[in-house]
Structure formats: C-alpha cells, structure tokens
Structure 1
Amino acid sequence: MRTHGGILPQLSGVLFFPVTPFSPTGDLNLPVLRKHLEDGLSAGPGGVFAACGTGEFHSLGPAESAQVVETAVQVVAGQVPVFAGAGGQVSVAVEQARAAARAGADGLLLMPPYLVEGPPRGLARYVETVAAATDLPVIVYHRGNARFDPESAATIAELPSVIGLKEGIGDVELMTRIISSVRTTLDGSDKSFHFFNGLPTAEVTVPAYAGLGVHLYSSAVFCFAPEVALRFHHAVTTQDVKLVQRLLDTFFVPLVALRSKVPGYAVSLVKAGVRLRGLDVGGVRPPLVDPTPEHLEELRRIIEESSSGDSPFIAADQDTRQH
C-alpha cells in the first residue's frame, strides 16, 4: 500500500496505535510486537500507527523506532495503511522520516519538536523541513508545544504532502478556527485534508468533535479491548445515541477517571491492559511509571465488566468491523 506524492492512504474505522513491547531487561521485544500487531489486525482496524504516542515514541531511539516500523510493515503486509511516528529534534525527525520511507511505511505522524517552544511560523518551518525529507504523506500532531494557530495550520495544509492535522489540544474554539482557516485556504483546490481527534481516550470527545466534522480518531482502547472500541465506533457511525452514552458512562468515563490520577497513565494503563488480556508486553520506560497494584485492580475491574457475558460490549459482530 506504498503511497507517493502526497496521496492519502485510505483511513477509516478505528485507528490502531499499538504499544511497543519491551523485554524484562528493557530491550525491544519484536516477537511480542508481531503478536500484538497480529491480534490487532484480526480485530479489523482501519490503519496502524507504529512507534507513535501509545507506542512510547518519546523513549525510542532512531534505530529502535525503525525496527518497530519495519516490523509493523511486515506484519500488516498491505492490509491497511501503516503510519510511522517521527518528531523531536528536527534532524532526528528527518532521519526517522527517511527510515520510515525505506521500511515501506504509507505515511508519517509528525510528533511535536523536542522541548523548545517556537512560534507558529517556526512550527510551520519544522513541518516543511520534515515533510521535504520524503514523499510520504504527513499527518501533523497539534499537541503539547506544537500548538498551531489558524494561519500556520493553513500554511502547512498547503504543503503538497501534508494531508491532515491530528488534534490533541482540546481547545474546541481554536480547532473550529483552524478548520475554518484550512477550509477557506484550500477552497477551490482539489486537495483533500483530514482532521483527526487525537486526544487521550479520544472516544470521550468523539461526539463533541463529530459536531465539528472531525470523524476520524485514534483509539488506544483498541490495543487491549478491541471489542469495546469497535462497538463504540459502530454505535457512533450508526448514530445509536443511547449505546454511545451507555458505553461512555460505564466504560470510557471510568477509564478516563483512572487515567487522570497519574501523569502518563494514558500510555501506562493501555500497556497494562494489554498485559491483563494475556500478552506480556512488559512495562513502560521512564519517565512513565506502571500502574500501582490498586490502580491495576481498578483497570482489571473496568475491563472485566466490559467483557462479561451479559455486557453490551462483548465482541462486535463481523459486520461492525471496519476494514
């Protein structure tokens, strides 16, 4: 499914952001990564985003990131698009972008630059520099210190290979202005540009962002409870408002409440959830911390209640899977 010239890989359904497994000594565990990817693919995601936020991008060296992406491309084997994480220092981001292209990735998710805060025009230059390193389509992550304003968002939207913006700030007013600016700027052109909801546990904000016309979203829950993630997506796409509200009230909101107790739990809980479902993906690397025994038990309860035989979340029917 290799793409060229900024052509958008077809993304739909639930987007899978796999964790990066580590061995007891803290090294990459590629055999377990293959199993994790195979399990996720069998559930039917619409795309795979390897070595990104949920995959502890911040803790991977360039060689490790390349190995993760290569493994994802091999396992996915063209079934769905594979996007690779790139970011941090601009020179490292360029290196990661080129490595992803060599590995056969279908696109890049460009993460925020490291530490420093630049003005919006500087962020636009950062995106332009990395995008120019390959011909891969680029989705830019609007999050943390990579905070675009409407003008800079429109500027990067005009770059030939930049195909989307992933929203991770949570400022609905700003996002509305950005969407309007990009839409106005691209009006009359034949370029498609896509917005993604990339907030932690994005399902909680899916109804709000759908009102802005933002329908694609990342799902960390898909890593450890794909039946829940697929059920929710099906309820959203079929406008089953009652089921959406029930899933939010009984699964996603309790998960967010637990996630909010400790910084970094947006990743740590996901990895713990994968372990609880039977695949030993190891713990998280510093500066993240693994859940406490108390919080692990709370996560176990949330998962078990969502997977019980009389639960409305139990395995989605085949026709709810998104390919």
Structure 2
Amino acid sequence: MEHPTKSTLDGLLAFPLTPFTESLEVDLDALEATVDRHVEAGAGALFVACGTGEFSSLSPDEHAAVLARAQKAVGGRVPVWVGAGGGVAAARAGIALAQEQGADGVLLMPPYLVSGPPSGLVDFVRHAVGDTQVPVIVYHRATGVFTPSAAISLLGIPSVVGLKDGCGDIELISRIVTRTRSVGTRRAEEFLFFNGLPTAEVSARAYASLGVPRYSSAVHCFAPEIAHRFHHALAIGDTLAMDALLSGFYLPLVALRDETPGFAVSLVKAAARLRGDKVGPVRPPLAEPTAEQVGRLERIVADGHTVLKALGR
C-alpha cells in the first residue's frame, strides 16, 4: 500500500473555503479559482470540503463535486485531500468515494452527535475505513477524542497515517505523541501528527516543541503572504518575526474570532471577500459578521500586512 511520504505534507497545509452563490448553491467555478489561488500562493497540500470548507453543510453529491472540481483545478500540482465523516455509514461512504475519485487522502471527522468509549472510537475508524487503501488522517476533537492507548491502536489500521489534534489539550497530545513514538516500530516513527486548532499559528510553537510542527492555516485563505512568512519563521526559529506577527495580527484576529461561535469559518470567508475572492456567504447555522466586525477585520488584516512589510517579507 502506498502512502504519502512526510515530504508531501511538510509544507503549509491549506483548507480552501467552499464558495456559495447568494442562494447558497455551491459555486464550482469560484471553487476552481479559489483552489488555484491556494496552489499559486505556495500551499503544500489542499484539504477540500473539510472544516473551513463547511463539510457539515454539504450533501453527498456536493461533496463529490467539490472534490472533482478541486482535482481538476489542481491538476496534480499538489496533493488533494478531502473531508469525510458524520455517522459511521456516511463516513464509510465518504472514504469510499475519496478512493474511487482518486483523492490523495482523507481527513476523517469525529462521529456525528454521539460519543463512545475509546474502543468504540477505534472501531468507528476501522469500520469507516473498511477495505479501502486511501490514506486517512483522523481528526482528534469533539466526540472523537482519543486516549493514548486508543491512539496507538490506530497503528493497527494500515491506511491511517496520522492524527490531527483539534482538542488543544497539550498534556494529552504530548502523551499521545510520546507513547506512539515509543512503540519503536517504523510505522510508529512515521505516523504523522498535526496541529488542527483554529488559527493554529497561535499555538504552533507549543506544538512544534512536542514534535508536531505540521499545522493547517485558515489564514492562507485570505492572507497567504502572512501565513507563509509565519510558517517560515517557525521553521527557522525566528522568534522576533513570530512575535511580531502574533502581536500585530494573529492575536487581534483570534480576539475577534472568539466573539461569535462559528467565526473560525465565517470570519475567514469575510476576509476572503475583502481580498476580492468570490466565495459568497456561509451556510447556516454559521452567521455572517456585522458591518462593524468586518470593519475591524479589515483593519486587522491591514495591520498584518504592515507588520509583514516591516519584516521585509
């Protein structure tokens, strides 16, 4: 079974927005343009129809169409991963679709609505994967929080190649990473870990210190220049640049994001519209920011570019 090497997911990971028309229909032409902008901006891999792409609002047909159009737009330039999840039957169907359509991998979302014991979570992944071979990264968050022992059990599912942490419990992810690496096999050594917290740059240094340098950047959707400058600063340990970007851009953005539930997506989409991208509105229950919040968002993004200019790019 072929799996992506670490190098294919070592760059800045981008999670494209799913554009909608004003009547909330998926706008595939706008999606193609959005995806192309991500690639041209230097994204190392794309994860379409995931959290930022409003996975939970898409029908199965829309989900398939988004993946197909994204693959067409990318044209093999970078890997294209896709979200799957919901109930276990829906998750299984989503992974099967990803394999059928030739996706490079799948981000498996937590179980819908219900939770279970650690063994049940492992069985959820095992059943969702079935006999497919497409690489899968398990999203560790919400109803899908794994114990260290349960995370190690994922090593027994060959197509599962990694775990993305959206929980934010540093002590827990430290134990999971340490216990996994201590298994001592090549499989355990090569298992991938990702920081999947909203606005992940804010926590990126803490995760990197645990051996989790990979993260997804929602900022890449509207300010890829800033996202790449921070990613480079993290890679070379440029503390001054990271501090400048955090204090001058990321922390004010997070403060605004935290004002309203769902702004981890809504605010990103609003910022992309400010940039001139044709991404349309969010689907409910997400809500649009107010005019006053959009005004503050515009100033925060402008301040971020001011910091970027001062750093000399």
Calculate the TM-score normalised by the size of structure 1: 0.93
Partner of 1:321: none
Q: Map 1:70-149 onto structure 2 (within 5 A).
A: 70-149=68-147
- Quickly say closer, same or farther: Cα 1:13–1:313, change in 2 above 3 A: farther
Amino acid paired to 2:13: L
| Counterpart Cα distance in 1 of 2:192 and 2:152 | 12
SS of 1:169's partner is coil
The answer (yes or no) to whether the contact 2:18–2:31 under 8 Å persists in 1 is yes
**Alpha-carbon offset, residue 272 of structure 1:** 0.7
| Counterpart Cα distance in 2 of 1:45 and 1:156 | 28
Would you say how many aligned residue pairs link Structure 1 and Structure 2? 311
| Counterpart Cα distance in 2 of 1:310 and 1:22 | 31
**Alpha-carbon offset, residue 156 of structure 1:** 0.8
Q: Which runs of 5+ in 1 are unaligned?
A: 317-323
Which stretches of structure 1, 4 residues or longer, exceed 6 Å deviation after superposition?
Answer: none
- Quickly say closer, same or farther: Cα 1:257–1:309, change in 2 above 3 A: closer
What is the RMSD computed on CA atoms of the aligned residues? 1.5
Amino acid paired to 1:105: A
Partner of 2:257: 259
Select which of 217, 234, 250 maps to 2:215. Answer: 217
Select which of 12, 18, 21 maps to 1:20. Answer: 18
- Residue 53 (1) aligns with residue 51 (2): yes
Select which of 169, 178, 197 maps to 1:180. Answer: 178
**Alpha-carbon offset, residue 180 of structure 1:** 1.7
The answer (yes or no) to whether the contact 2:14–2:220 under 8 Å persists in 1 is yes
In terms of fraction of residues, the more helix-rich structure is 2
The answer (yes or no) to whether the contact 2:46–2:78 under 8 Å persists in 1 is yes
The answer (yes or no) to whether the contact 2:248–2:307 under 8 Å persists in 1 is no
**Alpha-carbon offset, residue 209 of structure 1:** 0.6
The answer (yes or no) to whether the contact 1:305–1:311 under 8 Å persists in 2 is no
Q: Which runs of 5+ in 2 are unaligned?
A: none
| Counterpart Cα distance in 2 of 1:195 and 1:168 | 11
- Residue 285 (1) aligns with residue 276 (2): no
The answer (yes or no) to whether the contact 1:227–1:313 under 8 Å persists in 2 is no
| Counterpart Cα distance in 2 of 1:193 and 1:53 | 22
The answer (yes or no) to whether the contact 1:84–1:109 under 8 Å persists in 2 is yes
Partner of 1:234: 232
Amino acid paired to 2:186: S
- Quickly say closer, same or farther: Cα 1:188–1:154, change in 2 above 3 A: same
**Alpha-carbon offset, residue 74 of structure 1:** 1.2
Q: Which moved more, 1:200-209 or 1:130-139?
A: 130-139
Calculate the TM-score normalised by the size of structure 2: 0.96
**Alpha-carbon offset, residue 81 of structure 1:** 1.0
- Quickly say closer, same or farther: Cα 1:39–1:154, change in 2 above 3 A: same
The answer (yes or no) to whether the contact 2:244–2:307 under 8 Å persists in 1 is no
The answer (yes or no) to whether the contact 1:235–1:243 under 8 Å persists in 2 is yes
| Counterpart Cα distance in 2 of 1:66 and 1:245 | 40
SS of 1:111's partner is strand
- Quickly say closer, same or farther: Cα 1:235–1:310, change in 2 above 3 A: closer
Amino acid paired to 1:27: E
Select which of 294, 297, 304 maps to 1:296. Answer: 294
The answer (yes or no) to whether the contact 2:245–2:308 under 8 Å persists in 1 is no
| Counterpart Cα distance in 2 of 1:252 and 1:84 | 26
Higher relative contact order (CA 8 A, sep 6+): 1
- Quickly say closer, same or farther: Cα 1:310–1:38, change in 2 above 3 A: closer
| Counterpart Cα distance in 2 of 1:288 and 1:249 | 27
- Residue 311 (1) aligns with residue 309 (2): yes
Partner of 1:273: 271
Q: Percent identical across equivalent pairs?
A: 49
